[in-house]
Amino acid sequence: MMYFSRMKTTIILAVCLLGVLLGVPNLFPAPASWVPWRTVHLGLDLRGGSYLLLEVDMKAVIKERLDSLMDGVRQDLRTAQIFYQSLDSQPDQNRIVLRLRDASKTDDAVAALRPLISPDPNTGQPDMSVSSNPDGTITLTLSPAALSRRASGAVEQSIEIIRRRIDETGVVDPQITRQGESRIVVQLPGVGDPDRIKQLIGKTAHMTFRLVDETANPNGGGVPPPGDDYLVLQDRPGEKIAVRKRIDVDGADLTDARAGTSPETGDWVVNFTFNSVGARRFGDVSRANVNHRFAIVLDDKVISAPVIREAITGGRGQISGNFTADSANDLAVLLRAGALPAPLTVVEQRSVGPELGAASIRAGALSLAAGFVFVIAFMGIFYGLFGWLANLALVVNLFLMLGIMSLLQATLTLPGMAGILLTLGMAVDANILINERIREEQKLGRPPLAALEHGFSRAYSTIFDSNATAFLAHVMLFVFGSGPVRGFAVTITVGIATSLFTAWMLTRLLVSRWYVANRPKLLPV
Amino acid sequence: MFIKPRFRLVPDGTRIKFMRGRYLGLIVSAILSTASVIMFFYPGLNLGIDFSGGVVMQVRTDGPADFAQIHTALAAAHVPDQGLQRFGDASEVLIRLGAQPTEAATQAAVAQVRTALEQGVPGSRIERTDAVGASVSAELFRNGLLALLISLLMILVYIWFRFEWQFAVGAVVTLVLDITKAIGFLALTRIDFDLVMVAAILTILGYSTNDKVVVYDRVRENLRKYKSMPLRELIDLSINETLNRTLGTSMTVFLASLPLALFGGESISGFAWVMLFGIVVGTSSSIFIAAPILLFLGEHRLRRDAAPPAPAKAPPAKATTAPRT
């Protein structure tokens, strides 16, 4: 127990040295750029920043899928000359139900609708089923697998678009990751007030160009005529305008959008460019509708509805609509980044300003220093030499913790700093156990070496059992916790591991070296 | 002066008859835990927004905060049911909004407060914004509870596996009593119960188990060593033998947590106070609760089980009663 081979000694000291080397970068700035200088990541609560948890509206994803499916159904049945009595989507059950006027055509209808089924690109499974029911209705049910693939795709696509939008704002080092089925975590270091970013990611930014139905009377109340929507004007929320449901050109066909000022009026506008498909369609529509109004619709609000003066064939256009420099710029950003596949809602926000973060670091560091001094003083006073050896091990332990956390690129949070302190308090427990044991063994009349041998070996199982349970509790905390609390769990679990090493290996080595050098008649315990 | 220990917490050869006070210990603990459970229901815990949902904004004002001014500004912006609270020094204010009906309403409320402060309280800065929607808070609560229950279960299984079932039951019952007292402490002090508090309780759990394991470990060892000593004396002996360590470790952990409570800042000091309370409770419960329970459960059985040369595991028929207890 007290014998250390040269090999073992070297390994223990090497691990300690490595730990110190890995831990040191946390205390000083890098001396030169070529030196590998890995430090612990500071959590957003310490460095200041924002954490946003976004939820992708899966109902909207399903609804949109069903809507486009309904379009397909209408078209197919029209081509097959089959007439239906009713056609409804039931988003709760992921299906569309239709009832034919002539029930005898059910088989024909089912056959006509079959081509709408497409196989999954990976598994080859059909993405929905078409079936006729005894009560004469036909249902098209989307398969759960296809839906979850679509939902997953929507989340991935949203992440990509959010990234593009945030990149435009100049936030350094944003982290955008998926969480679970339908959630996205956005971490924005240094952003204490994420208001603008929330506005940017809170918009679907689906832009469409549609013709205005000049015959309808949207402000007289009543339901819009078939094929029309009554949409509000962005600038005058009280006023509605009748817009055709048919989308002539989609915002997805934009290749660029930039904020600028109009040469004639000096107002802020957004200039945009279409790709070739968009340019051709825009040209066709504008040519056929000279002197009619068309509406630029963003997320079901009409930004503007100018009258077409002449055919617009160059694929370029301009949106004007009471913009300020900021709002024109934001719209340009949104149009460039593309539309989100589904609306996003912020379900959790945690923002900390940089000042508060710095104050937390100061408070944490002060507590850490004070706690460290207290523990060291206690050990020195109550356990003498062996206490000081334990203190040396404690310092190494602190470096090892920092080193491992830097290596793992773990995040240090304010609760994490509390975790370090608690670990320091708990780490000396192993030394206390060992020292008490050695003292007892010596009291029983064992000579020094035997007392050390027995002391260490008997304390071992106690140390192991008592740490194992604490370890288990904190692993659970990591699994079920979130955010800063996870940081706490990480520091404690790392701390338990390193303190086992320093108490069990390093102190034992130090004690053994001290014994060999001094050969005392009585141990100072 | 660095060689010899300066002080001892407890002189060697101390033989306090702790088990004499076992009824007193259990009764005091039962009273405290019952009071805690009552306080859990009335007045109840002060749920932090992690679990209740809602908005908390920490605002720093130029000079001492003028509550009336902030109130007026918020009322003018139609911010729903706000509560103001001083936080740390005089120029820091905590604005709390209760849970909002929808996620969108939560976000809208944040924006409302923001504009209200911009317009009505010049020079104010929002230093922290926490907004938690209803779905997330329910989830966080469930996860916190799950972490707690699974930890307890794992501790039960671990101690059962390493010791006898009497030890496991004794430890887990004591831990449950410890946790109820910590919750009573939270209810009494009105400290916000949030995720960090779950972490504190889990840490108390880890610390308290650690303490029980050390005493139990000594009991197990002495059971093998002194084959004929009555369990009551044996437990007393084991507690006394480990008393220096028990007090020593609780002092180091206490000393390590104390600065956090004093200088750690408003957002972490609640955690530290709960920890300090938990250390005291966890240490005393090892002696006054866990040990007596072991005595009651093991008075006849542990001795008989320990009689064969190898320390036998409890027979399965008995063992199955453990989880139900």
Size of interface A-B (CB pairs under 8 A): 264
CA atoms within 13 A of residue A190's CA, in its CB half-sphere: 7
Decide if B116 touches A, using CB distance below 8 A: no
Contacts of B263 in chain A (CB under 8 A): 363, 366-367, 370
Q: Which pLDDT does position B277 carry in this prediction? A: 96
CATH number, position A69: 3.30.1360
pLDDT at residue B310, as a whole number: 43
Q: Do A359 and A329 sit in the same domain of this protein?
A: no
Contact B31, B177 (CB under 8 A): no
If contacts are CB pairs under 8 Å, which of residues 82-141 in chain A contact chain B? none
B43 upstream amide cis, omega within 30 of 0: yes
CATH number at residue A249: 3.30.1360.200
Rg (CA), chain A: 35
State the pLDDT at residue A203: 86
Q: Could you give the domains of chain B?
A: 18-47+137-319 (1.20.1640.10), 54-132 (3.30.70.3400)
Residue of B2, B5, B127 with shortest CB distance to A353: B127
Residues A102 and A209 grouped into a single domain: no
Q: Return d(Cα B191, Cα B179) in angstroms, integer.
A: 15
Q: Is residue A182 part of a domain?
A: no
Whether chain B has a CB inside 8 Å of the CB on A290: the answer is no
The stretch A112-136 carries a mean pLDDT of: 84
Residue located via tokens 């970013």: A197
Cβ neighbour number for residue A17 with a 10 Å cutoff:
12
Domain harbouring A375, CATH code? 1.20.1640.10
Q: Is B198 helix (H, G, I), strand (E, B) or coil?
A: helix
Q: Rounded to whole angstroms, how far apart are CA atoms A444 and A436?
A: 13
Tell me whether residue A131 is in a domain.
yes
CB contact under 8 A, A348 and B132: yes
Question: Nearest-CA distance from B255 to chain A in Å?
Answer: 6
Residues in chain A with CB shorter than 8 Å from the CB of B154 are 469, 472-473, 476
Whether A123 is in a domain gets the answer yes
Q: For residues A211 and B313, what is the distance between their CA atoms, to the nearest angstrom?
A: 83
Please indicate, yes or no, whether residues A336 and A478 belong to a single structural domain of this protein. no
Instruction: Give the start-end residues of each E strand in A91-199.
Output: 95-100, 128-132, 137-142, 175-179, 183-189
Claim to verify: residue A64 and residue A16 sit in the same structural domain: no
The answer to whether position A361 is within a domain reads yes
Same domain? A322 vs A368: no
Give percent of chain A above pLDDT 70.
100
DSSP one-letter string for A145-159: HHHHHHHHHHHHHHH
Asked if A76 and A208 sit in the same domain, the reply is no
Residue range A267-302, pLDDT digits in tens: 899 999 998 888 998 899 889 988 888 899 988 889
Identify whether A463 is part of a domain: yes
Query: Is B262 an 8 Å CB contact of chain A?
Result: yes
**Do residues A503 and A477 lie in contact, with contact meaning Cβ atoms separated by under 8 Å?**
no
Closest CB from A345, A359, A383 relative to B103: A345
**Tens digit of pLDDT for each residue in A417-464?**
989 998 998 899 999 999 999 999 999 999 999 999 999 998 988 898
Torsion of CA B159, B164, B165, B171, to 10 degrees: -50
- Which residue of A lies nearest to B218 if distances are taken between CA atoms? A462
> pLDDT of A141-194, one tens digit each?
988 888 888 888 899 999 999 999 998 888 888 999 998 888 999 999 989 889
Q: Give the pLDDT mean for B273-287.
A: 94
Chain A residues touching residue B133 (CB < 8 angstroms)? 345-348
Question: What tokens were used for A312?
Answer: 């617009």
Q: Which of A316, A350, A384 is the last residue of a domain?
A: A350
* pLDDT value at residue B316: 43
Q: How far is it, in rounded angstroms, from Cα A114 to Cα A126?
A: 10
- Is B199 in CB contact (< 8 Å) with chain A? yes
Chain A residues in contact with B164 (beta carbon < 8 A):
none
Residues A372 and A454 in one domain: yes
Q: Are residues A344 and A362 located together in one domain of the fold?
A: no
The pLDDT tens digits for A377-415 are 999 999 999 999 999 999 999 999 999 999 888 888 888
CA-derived radius of gyration, chain B? 25
Give burial (CB, 10 Å; 0-12/13-18/19+) of A396: buried
Residue A239 lies in a domain: yes
Q: Cβ(B53)–Cβ(B100) under 8 Å?
A: yes
**Residue A142 in domain:** yes
pLDDT value for B262: 92
Instruction: Give yes or no: residues A513 and A393 share one domain.
Output: yes
What is the tally of helices (H) and strands (E) in chain A? 13, 19
CA A484 vs. chain centroid, Å, equals 14
**Minimal CA–CA distance to A254: which of A281, A286, A283, A279?**
A279
B302, B167 in Cβ contact below 8 A?
A: no
Interval B198-207 mean pLDDT: 89
Residue A445 structural domain:
6-48+353-518
Last residue in a domain, options A335, A350, A365? A350
Q: Please name the helix (run of DSSP H) or strand (run of DSSP E) that holds residue A207, with its range, or none.
A: strand A207-211
| Residue A422 in tokens | 């608690």
A178 C-beta neighbours (distance < 10 Å), count: 15
Residues A209 and A310 in one domain: yes
A507 and A381 belong to one structural domain: yes
Distance CA A429, CA B248 (A): 8
Q: Within a domain: residue A196?
A: no
- Using the 3D structure, point to which of A350, A380, A404 is the last residue of a domain: A350
**Residues B65, B84: Cα–Cα separation, whole Å:** 11
What pLDDT digit, counting tens, does each position of B2-61 carry?
678 888 888 888 899 999 989 999 999 999 999 999 999 988 888 888 898 899 999 999
Mean pLDDT of A217-224: 78
A456 and A496 both lie in a single domain = yes
Our count of domains for chain A comes to 3
* Confidence bin at B84 (pLDDT 50/70/90): confident
The position carrying tokens 């945690």 is A350
pLDDT at residue B303, rounded to an integer:
63
